[in-house]
Amino acid sequence: MKKENKPTGYASFRSFLRAVAGATLGLSAGLLICRLVGESPIKVLQVLYQSSFGSGYDFGMTLFYTAPLILTGLAVAIPLKGGLFNIGAEGQLTVGALAAAWAGVLGAGISSPALAVLFATFFAFLAGGLWGLLPGFLKARQGSHEVITTIMLNFIAAGVTAYFTLYTIKDPVSAQAETISIPETFHLKPFAVFNGAPMGWLIFFLILLAVGIHYVLWRSSWGYSLKALGESEVAAETYGISRGSSWMSSMFLAGGVAGLVGLVEVLGNSHRFKIGFSADYGFVGIAVALVARGNILGVLPSAFLFGILQKGSASLDLETDKITRDLSYLIQGLIILGVSAEGLWGWLWKLVRRKNA
Amino acid sequence: MSALEFRGVSKRFGSFFANRELSFRVEPGTIHGLIGENGAGKSTAMKALFGIHSIEEGTILIRGKPVRIKNPIQAMKLGIGMVHQHFMLAGPETVLDNIILGREPGFFGINREKALAELENISETYGLQFGKWLSPVDELSVGEQQRVEILKLLYQRSEILILDEPTAVLTPQEVSDLFQNLKRLKDEGKTIILISHKLKEVLAHTDAVTVLRRGECVGTRATSETTEDELAQMMVGRPVSFTYEGERKVFAKAEDARAVLRLDRLSISDAQEPLHKVALELRPAEILGIAGVQGNGQTTLLRFLSNPSRFRSADGEYRFAGANRMGSNPLALRRAGMALVPEDRLAEGLLLHQDLMENYLLGQHVDPRFVSRGMIDRSKVRPRVEAAIRDFDIRPPFVNIWASRLSGGNQQKLVIARALDSNPSVLLIAHPTRGVDVGAIERIHEAIMKERNSGKSILLFSSELDELIDLSDRMLVFFNGSVAAEFQRREFDPWAIGRVMGGGEK
């Protein structure tokens, strides 16, 4: 009976290998294009390496880019387990970030930093969560397609947060569209080794969060129901799994997690809410989750990869003659293609076999 | 010269041979049975013939000429036609339009008069009487729809007609009509290939039979020279018994025992198959069979019984385990001692891309035996799954493989083992042996009977009348959403039951 552990273990390991091979393939194709436009691939890799790992500051910045992508990657991957495609992480993180900033304004009297951070975390999670719950509810109640509703709610979130930023908690002395800055008790301190890059203990918290969510999804009845629903709605319903509560709870959790981007940005970096602060984290999160193949733990390396590319794209633009920012987006795109090309491997395998035969 | 010949045909999927050096001949103007268990390669072979699969080795000969069939259109041009198990008809369109689709006469617009004349001609030649050319297909009975499919092949001038399990959805009367029609087609020179797993049918209506097992051709026999036992042995590789011959324990006073499950005046109007004033009582230690042609309300009844919360329009009374169950959800019914083997195990019963343990948990994912404080303890589930694999001889015997890797019979054994795991007092079992290998059927029937003999109540839904007759203590026949008649075991007679299934009197 020892043999029985093999199949799934093997399958998931193979799936991981495929993802890595796919990413490598996509990267190689990207480097080939760099070569075609006249840039040495070695140079490109060097620049990428230098810009992400070259110094404490660079590494800190890479993590700073990675952190929101972990959260939005999770926000996409969690509902995906239940068969929902959450395009709304962008809106959820915007609402969450505003809530974090607002918590800072409301909680100005809190003297304990730990309590202050907890207070802001709660607000950010709750606001993002409710923003995620709404499409979950509409889907459960009316059957409204979550892709449509979450896209719509992205726009609504942008409008609503802009309103509050400009009319309710606007910084009266700033000429920018931003809120009053939060008190020092709310600030997350960055690590000194990062030389000013705004990232500290938070990154460990995010890794723990991903591990925790993975654990709960795998071990709990709730996670089981969600996965069963994602695998087969009909089977889940036949055996008494409620679609509505699974969908709503998973979207609430996803929205809440996306909302925690407020910690990275507001508490960790700018200490206030700025309209348009997000570099499309919510949308890149979709790519992060896809490259992770919907695997919760896979979101971590996937987000890190995107963090490196995001950080590197500016350096590539500056430090090479031929490569522009757009070209580095192209490389990102090729990596996504490489990983998500499910049929590619079967096709390659067939080709190899035919040659050998 | 044979109408069709397979010569050493092989088809591989990866390292798995779906067909291995298949060789057999079909003589023109005969009905040729093609039988084998699920996964024996019948449909792969026919798909190769129909141009859906490409073959790797060997040759297919049509009327003595080797052909390479690349797609179904080419197959149709060669005179090969297929009636699929699930009909390929456009419901709202007329019979005429469905038939001429793909070969519409007329250059500008469709010349329906011409098509109609041709069809009348065809139906006269082959004795397939049919008057409803202009009715929508939706309004026809299943048997009539099947006749439309056959007419369509004739209209396309098919010479070789492949019928995939054509009797699965018919009443005994319709089956007899079908075979009369097939015989007439044969007399007119058509060649018919009948894919089936019902040996009785094959024996009664074919001229020759080819048996497949594990992708290989076991042999071809002239029907007149073979027996049911021989064919079964060829299919399974060992002797099999078809009817349940085990013990049927007799319980004292079973007839007036108190019902454990009771329906009264149950009407459901907003379902695809509505129910009208259904009443039934399920007593301890009995198997109550539910018979009827597919689509007469059995599906709604099963879905309602297992999940009343889904039917808001349900009206009437549903009592189970001493409580009113109108509006209950499956988990509540499960707690009260109900278990389910759903109609469609692939869609409703299994998570195909999850392993056997996860599948075993479906429905049991909140069972307090396995769950505490919302967390599932899989180390408690594993021994149960291992026991199920042992008891039901599920193969391959691994807990950690995907359910999709099991054959139909093994999947069904898993679903049944799971239903029995919670030691339920009432079992709702639908189509327990549909698409299941002959070898597994025995085991499943034994398991059902064992539950009955230990005092459990079983509501058995099946489209196989033989199965219901074998196992049931009583039988209710559904027609048009109502119980049309009740039969006691001593009254079981396929023709009488079939008459009621078709809308007649008991």
Tell me if B477 is assigned to some domain.
yes
Compare all CA atoms of chain A with the CA of B370 and give the residue at the minimum distance.
A221
Q: What pLDDT sits at residue A352?
A: 77
On whether the CB atoms of residues A255 and A133 are closer than 8 A, the answer is: yes
B67, B135: one domain: yes
Q: What pLDDT sits at residue B217?
A: 87
B142, B187: one domain: yes
B267, B222: one domain: no
On whether the CB atoms of residues B203 and B232 are closer than 8 A, the answer is: no
- Residues 6 or more apart in contact with residue A208 via CB below 8 angstroms: none
Tell me if B345 is assigned to some domain.
no
Percentage of chain A lying above the pLDDT 90 cut: 67
Out of B347, B365, B400, name the one closest to residue A7 (CB).
B400
pLDDT of residue A61 exceeding 60, the answer is yes
**Cβ of B355 and A8 within 8 Å?**
yes
B409, B305: one domain: no
Tell me if B134 is assigned to some domain.
yes
Out of B329, B365, B400, name the one closest to residue A8 (CB).
B400
| Chains A–B, number of C-beta pairs less than 8 Å apart | 83
Among B376, B395, B421, the domain-final residue is B421
Identify all chain B residues contacting A219, using CB atoms and an 8 Å cutoff.
375-376
Strand partners, B26: B4
Tell me if B380 is assigned to some domain.
yes
Q: What pLDDT sits at residue A1?
A: 34
Tell me if B394 is assigned to some domain.
yes
The range of the structural domain enclosing residue B370 comes to 351-421
B475, B416: one domain: no
Q: How many CB atoms lie within 10 A of CB A344?
A: 16
Q: What pLDDT sits at residue B64?
A: 86
Tell me if B203 is assigned to some domain.
yes
B435, B390: one domain: no
**Cβ of B348 and A235 within 8 Å?**
yes
B276, B402: one domain: no
User: What is the Cα–Cα distance from B401 to B352, expressed in whole angstroms?
Assistant: 10
Q: What pLDDT sits at residue B255?
A: 55
Q: How far is A189 from chain B (nearest CA, A)?
A: 36
Q: Of A312-326, A333-347, B483-497, give the range with the top mean pLDDT.
A: B483-497
Number of domains within chain B:
3
Q: What pLDDT sits at residue B498?
A: 85
What are the residue boundaries of the structural domains of chain A, listed by start? 71-291
Residues of B contacting chain A (CB within 8 angstroms): 306-307, 310, 329-332, 334, 340, 342, 347-355, 358, 361-363, 365-366, 371, 374-376, 386, 397-402
pTM for the model stands at 0.79
Residue position matching structure tokens 């469609």? B344
As a whole number, mean pLDDT of residues A199-217 equals: 96
B375, B431: one domain: no
pLDDT tens digits along A140-193: 999 999 999 999 999 999 999 999 999 998 888 888 889 999 999 999 999 999
B58, B118: one domain: yes
pLDDT tens digits along A63-93: 999 999 999 999 999 999 999 999 999 999 9
B114, B135: one domain: yes
Among B421, B441, B473, the domain-final residue is B421
- Residues 6 or more apart in contact with residue A262 via CB below 8 angstroms: A93, A96, A97, A98, A99, A100, A101, A120, A124, A128, A273
Mean pLDDT of residues grouped by 10 in chain B (506 residues)?
A: 87 76 89 82 84 84 87 87 82 85 79 83 78 81 82 87 82 84 88 86 90 86 86 78 68 67 93 91 94 89 94 93 92 95 90 94 94 94 95 87 84 94 95 79 89 93 88 94 94 88 82
Taking the Cβ of residue A231 and every Cβ of chain B, the question of whether any pair is shorter than 8 Å is answered with yes
B105, B190: one domain: yes
Q: Where are the beta strands (DSSP E) in B295-365?
A: 315-320, 323-324, 338-341
**Cβ of A231 and B365 within 8 Å?**
no
Tell me if B346 is assigned to some domain.
no
**Cβ of A239 and B354 within 8 Å?**
no
pLDDT of residue A216 exceeding 90, the answer is yes
pLDDT tens digits along A122-145: 999 999 999 999 999 999 999 999
Q: For chain A, state the CA radius of gyration.
A: 22
Tell me if B231 is assigned to some domain.
yes
CATH of the domain at B463: 3.40.50.300
B112, B210: one domain: yes
Burial B400-414 (b: 16+ CB within 10 A, else e): bbbbeebbbbbbbbb
